[in-house]
Amino acid sequence: MFDVIIVGAGVIGSSIARNLSKYKLSILVLEKENDVGDGASGANSAIIHSGYDPKPGTLKAEMNVKGNPLLYKACSELDVEALRIGSITLANNDEEIEVLKDLAKRSEENGVEYQLLDHDELLKIEPNITKQVKMGLLAPTAGIINPFELVVALMENAIDNGVELKLNQEVIDIKKNDDSFTVFTKDNNYQAKYIINASGVYSDKVSEMVNPKFFTVNPRRGEYFVLDHFDNNFIKHTLFNVPTSKGKGVLVSPTTHFNYLVGPSSDFINDKDSVATVKEILDEVKFNAKRLVDNVPYQYQIRVFSGVRAVSDNNDFIIEETSKRFINVAGIQSPGLASSQAIALKVEDIFIDSYQELFGEVGKNENFNPRRRPLIRLNKKTIEERRELIKKDPKLGRIICRCEQISEGEVLDVLNRSCPPHTIKGVKKRCRPGFGKCQGGFCEPLVMKILQDYYGLDKTEIDYGKKGTYITLCKTKNE
Ligand SMILES: Cc1cc2nc3c(=O)[nH]c(=O)nc-3n(C[C@H](O)[C@H](O)[C@H](O)COP(=O)(O)OP(=O)(O)OC[C@H]3O[C@@H](n4cnc5c(N)ncnc54)[C@H](O)[C@@H]3O)c2cc1C
């Protein structure tokens, strides 16, 4: 019997698992996919929002404002890339200036630092923005993060502190017993005193396994362009359109590796799992991005992708003990990433209060360590530092990803951690081979070979990402 089962290993489930690992508790995380962070947490804008945008008084506003500094702290403990570059929301006409003034008022109500800048001030700090710009709202505490690294690091640290993770375990039913739950997956069942539902876009369905229906999660897709890194100074802040009823609007932003993101769109869809991209929608993204930057250099485009937001009916986060020992953490749409550490703290409080009332004092995990072993990050080292490292481990001298300069030794390092990858995409998320201009054209076969050797598998058994997304179907020639 586990003390608690967390359903879903996105940024929310992983953050909660890490927070609860500070206590003497047996914690199991069940994830339906073959890796952590493959839902919304791995397909978003990667912005650490400052918190000026959510409506004052909502849970979103409270969690975002509290979560912003907590996320920077978690990143420094876990060696996750995050840069506090600030965001600027741009207004190009009088109507948009009015919205910006309302946002300034919201910033004050939410207690978020901001500054209003005029046309000249804006062009001085961001020379490549549209010359149409009239006013901008600078939020200096906003930042950018590597979201893939974040989820892996949170879960790796949680596992190092005693949490158990089971992948490929889709929760299909939950039975409430007198003082426990039985959680059913296709091939197993598990017992727990508490359930924490952090299943993202499926959180309404998982809640309904135990509770009467009281909310719906509607999937709203966002589509993006990714540009290669061509100039680290092209845009220095995250640039936003003024928000509309559809959300925060399109942004143009550097990533932590100085690629550029352009997007997202915002459209309700019927299929919770659909991460397709549509030409007409991407054309609309381009049109809206023009209101931020006149000449986005799309000749550097290397990829398009999409992610699905989990939008609840009341458009706010749902964080509560809905029924005895069943905690819903649902409808966590944007700014869920930025709010993740505040959400985990709130869930920790709800859980510990409730648990102690029923089962007595929970002890502290004396061995809890908030840090994880830093990644190698060879491409950020000086030549001398690289030489020293390669002397100790020659595999660090074998570059397998030419675009991003990633070595075989770094792939082996992530394989030897407590939340290792099993797929090519899993390796890519952890140490970046395949993120560059060739999009895996050169490095994928090499990553595949490393995975084969490490796990003792046949080529045909290696998936690109989700189960069944194999790359080779059968052997050819003399193999
Ligand atoms: C387009 C887009 C842009 C965004 N931009 C930002 C941004 O810039 N900044 C920001 O702060 N936020 C942003 N967000 C929001 C943020 O990404 C989400 O709020 C956050 O990732 C939600 O995390 P989660 O763990 O709740 O959900 P998810 O990451 O979706 O995780 C849920 C997990 O549950 C698993 N699961 C589902 N059902 C089951 C089941 N039955 N059994 C077992 N496992 C199950 C899923 O496989 C998944 O891994 C954006 C979101 C999108 C889609």
Q: Which helix (H) or strand (E) holds 89?
A: strand 87-91
Specify which residues 224 forms β-bridges with.
305
Q: Best of 14, 15, 31, 185 to mutate for ligand 1, by most ligand atoms within 8 A of CB?
A: 31
For Cα atoms 288, 291, 296, give the angle at the middle one, nearest 5 degrees.
Answer: 80
CA distances from 262 to 128, 253, 259, 461 (A): 14, 7, 10, 35
Q: Is the CB of 341 under 6 A from ligand 1?
A: no
**Ligand 1 centroid vs 309 CA: distance in angstroms?**
7
Q: Whose CA is nearest to atom 31 of ligand 1?
A: 10
Q: Tokens representing 117? A: 């800048």
**Ligand 1 centroid vs 354 CA: distance in angstroms?**
26
For 395-477, strand residue ranges (E) read 399-401, 406-407
Pairing state of beta strands 47-48 and 143-145? antiparallel
Q: Tokens representing 119? A: 């046309």
Alpha helices in 28-132 (DSSP H): 59-78, 94-110, 119-125
Cβ atoms within 10 Å, residue 61 = 24
What atom of ligand 1 comes closest to residue 42's alpha carbon? Answer: 29
What letters, b where the CB count within 10 A reaches 16 and e where it falls short, cover 45-56?
bbbbbbbbbbee
Q: Rounded to an integer, what distance in angstroms lies between the CA atom of residue 55 and that of residue 106?
A: 7
Sequence-distant (6+) residues with CB within 8 A of 2 are 26, 27, 28, 164, 190, 191, 192, 193
Sequence-distant (6+) residues with CB within 8 A of 72 are 48, 82, 84, 143
Check if 119 is active-site: no
Q: Is the CB of 248 under 6 A from ligand 1?
A: no
Give the global pTM.
Answer: 0.97
**Ligand 1 centroid vs 10 CA: distance in angstroms?**
6
Q: Is the CB of 433 under 6 A from ligand 1?
A: no
What atom of ligand 1 comes closest to residue 199's alpha carbon? Answer: 34
What atom of ligand 1 comes closest to residue 330's alpha carbon? Answer: 26
Q: Whose CA is nearest to atom 25 of ligand 1?
A: 10
**Ligand 1 centroid vs 118 CA: distance in angstroms?**
36
**Ligand 1 centroid vs 130 CA: distance in angstroms?**
32
Q: Is the CB of 79 under 6 A from ligand 1?
A: no
Q: Best of 36, 38, 45 to mutate for ligand 1, by most ligand atoms within 8 A of CB?
A: 45
**Ligand 1 centroid vs 199 CA: distance in angstroms?**
8
Q: 301 near 289, Cβ under 8 Å? A: no
Q: Is the CB of 219 under 6 A from ligand 1?
A: no
Q: Is the CB of 45 under 6 A from ligand 1?
A: yes
Q: Is the CB of 9 under 6 A from ligand 1?
A: yes
Amino acid found at 296: V
What atom of ligand 1 comes closest to residue 335's alpha carbon? Answer: 11
Q: Whose CA is nearest to atom 4 of ligand 1?
A: 44
Number of H helices, E strands in the chain: 12, 22
What atom of ligand 1 comes closest to residue 224's alpha carbon? Answer: 1
Q: Rounded to an integer, what distance in angstroms lies between the CA atom of residue 451 and that of residue 461?
A: 10
Q: Rounded to an integer, what distance in angstroms lies between the CA atom of residue 58 and that of residue 310?
A: 17
Q: Is the CB of 33 under 6 A from ligand 1?
A: yes
Q: At 62, give phi and psi (nearest 5°).
A: -60, -45
For 119-188, strand residue ranges (E) read 135-139, 143-145, 164-166, 173-176, 181-184
**Ligand 1 centroid vs 39 CA: distance in angstroms?**
5
Residue pLDDT tens, the chain, 479 long: 999 999 999 999 999 999 999 999 999 999 999 999 999 999 999 999 999 999 999 999 999 999 999 999 999 999 999 999 999 999 999 999 999 999 999 999 999 999 999 999 999 999 999 999 999 999 999 999 999 999 999 999 999 999 999 999 999 999 999 999 999 999 999 999 999 999 999 999 999 999 999 999 999 999 999 999 999 999 999 999 998 776 678 999 999 999 999 999 999 999 999 999 999 999 999 999 999 999 999 999 999 999 999 999 989 999 999 999 999 999 999 999 999 999 999 999 999 999 999 999 999 999 999 999 999 999 999 999 999 999 999 999 999 999 999 999 999 999 999 999 999 999 999 999 999 999 999 999 999 999 999 999 998 999 999 999 998 888 777 66
Q: Rounded to an integer, what distance in angstroms lies between the CA atom of residue 276 and that of residue 316?
A: 26
